[in-house]
């Protein structure tokens, strides 16, 4: 990556101890850039920030309606969840409805991030299942689409009909031909694009009309922020703080997007070093700058100017937005 700028700073007392550099883009309803930091043309892997794009074929194919999927299912299809019971219970019922089970997933098992769920597994001397994987909602969507298409079981293969549909949707909404892909943590291909392309895609979601696949997905995310991530997570906390007006989604290695229907804008950002604390700080700062997140909201303050505490719980510093974002 080149031409990056400082987006977040870590201060200890009067000293700036660390700097996180990156890139960010805000697009309007025409897909044009209205704000940019760093290089809008830098090529990125959006990771889980692309899940709502990967869920487009689920609706556009007719699979979602054919299987009676509601807003909770659609929110889970866009989720990187904690593996709490609120998530896994719904995923299990979704699989049951499809006549499938955990063995049909191709995402791999993952220890849940939810403490209660993790402790329950320990007490039961049980191993985590694939349904605990933070991407199991997305993969439930893949399995639903796959059943609708009547395709083969290895739905994460880049040449499989499910992934070809995802690529078509990805290139359509980003407005760019993808230069390639990497294999994500859940084994599905993650297609590359420019940061501008990703922000353009999010503005497309922001302006999509009522009843469209894009509108149904963004609405599901804002209706169910607890399903999109989980308790204690930035996505859930900040969507709640904005009162359901904005959909946001994190991605691994410090990616973040925002879909802002009332402004008809989309946001995409990437922190170069993969630091989550910096991505959360930067997205909060941009949302405050755009006027959709209150700077003094208690949830905002967990990420923007977030205090750093030592072992004695003394405040020793803070994670701040860089001056360029303020």
Instruction: Kindly list the distances between the CA atom of residue 135 and the CA atoms of 59, 172, 241, in Å, as whole numbers in the listed order.
Output: 18, 23, 24
Q: How many domains does the chain have?
A: 1
Range of the domain at 262: 5-325
Compute φ and ψ for 266, nearest 5 degrees. Answer: -130, 145
User: How large is the average pLDDT for residues 204-222?
Assistant: 98
What is the pLDDT at residue 1? 56
Please report, rounded to a whole number, the percentage of residues in the chain having pLDDT higher than 70.
99
Nearest CA to 249 among 268, 231, 273? 268
On average, the pLDDT of the chain sits at 98
Checking if the pLDDT of 6 tops 60, the result is yes
- The tens digit of pLDDT for each residue in 267-278 reads 999 999 999 999
Is-contact 42 194, C-beta < 8 A?
yes
**pLDDT for the residue 201:** 99
| Segment 176-203, tens digit of pLDDT | 999 999 999 999 999 999 999 999 999 9
The CATH number assigned to the domain holding 218 equals: 3.40.710
Tell me: the pLDDT tens digits for 15-57? 999 999 999 999 999 999 999 999 999 999 999 999 999 999 9
Distance between CA 307 and CA 85 in Å, rounded? 31
Give the distance, in angstroms, between the CA of residue 7 and the centroid of all CA atoms in the same chain. Answer: 19
CB contact set of 215 (below 8 Å; sequence gap of 6+): 205, 208, 209
Give the model's confidence band at 2: pLDDT under 50 very low, under 70 low, under 90 confident, else very high. Answer: low
Q: Give the pLDDT of residue 122.
A: 97
Residue 5, pLDDT > 80, answer yes
pLDDT tens column, 107-132:
999 999 999 999 999 999 999 999 99
Provide the percentage of residues in the chain whose pLDDT is more than 90.
99
The structure's pTM equals 0.97
The DSSP line for 157-210 is STTSHHHHHHHHHHHHHHTS----EEE-TTSSEEE-EEHHHHHHHHHHHHHPPT
Quote the Cα angle for 36-296-326, to 5°.
25
- Model confidence over 283-314: pLDDT tens digits? 999 999 999 999 999 999 999 999 999 999 99
């Amino acid at each position: 990556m080149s031409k990056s700028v400082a987006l977040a700073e870590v201060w200890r007392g009067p000293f700036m101890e660390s700097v996180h550099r990156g890139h960010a883009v805000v697009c309007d309803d025409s897909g044009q850039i209205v704000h940019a930091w760093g290089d809008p043309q830098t090529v990125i892997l959006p990771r889980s920030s692309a899940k709502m794009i990967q869920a487009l074929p689920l609706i556009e194919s007719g699979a979602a309606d054919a299987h009676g999927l509601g807003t909770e299912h659609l929110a889970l299809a866009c989720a990187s969840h904690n593996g709490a019971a609120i998530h896994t219970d719904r995923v299990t019922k979704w699989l049951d409805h499809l006549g499938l089970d955990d063995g049909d997933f191709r995402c791999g098992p993952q220890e849940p991030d939810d403490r209660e769920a993790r402790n329950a597994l320990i007490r039961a001397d049980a191993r985590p299942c694939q349904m605990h994987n933070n991407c199991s909602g997305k993969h439930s969507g893949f399995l639903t689409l796959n059943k609708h298409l009547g395709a083969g079981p290895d739905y994460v293969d880049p040449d499989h009909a499910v992934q070809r549909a995802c690529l078509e949707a990805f290139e359509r909404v980003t407005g760019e031909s993808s230069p390639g892909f990497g294999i994500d943590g859940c084994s599905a291909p993650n297609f590359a694009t420019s940061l501008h392309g990703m922000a353009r895609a999010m503005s497309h979601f922001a302006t999509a009309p009522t009843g469209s696949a894009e509108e149904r997905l963004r609405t599901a995310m804002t209706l169910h922020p607890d399903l999109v991530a989980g308790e204690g997570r930035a996505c859930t906390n900040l969507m709640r703080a904005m009162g359901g007006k904005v959909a946001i989604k994190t991605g691994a290695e410090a990616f973040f997007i925002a879909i802002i229907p009332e402004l008809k804008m989309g946001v995409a950002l990437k922190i170069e070093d993969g630091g989550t604390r910096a991505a959360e700080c930067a997205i909060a700062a941009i949302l405050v700058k755009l006027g959709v997140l209150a700077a003094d909201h208690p949830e905002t303050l967990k990420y923007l100017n977030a205090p750093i505490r030592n072992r004695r719980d003394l405040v020793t510093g803070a994670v701040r937005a860089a001056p360029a974002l303020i």
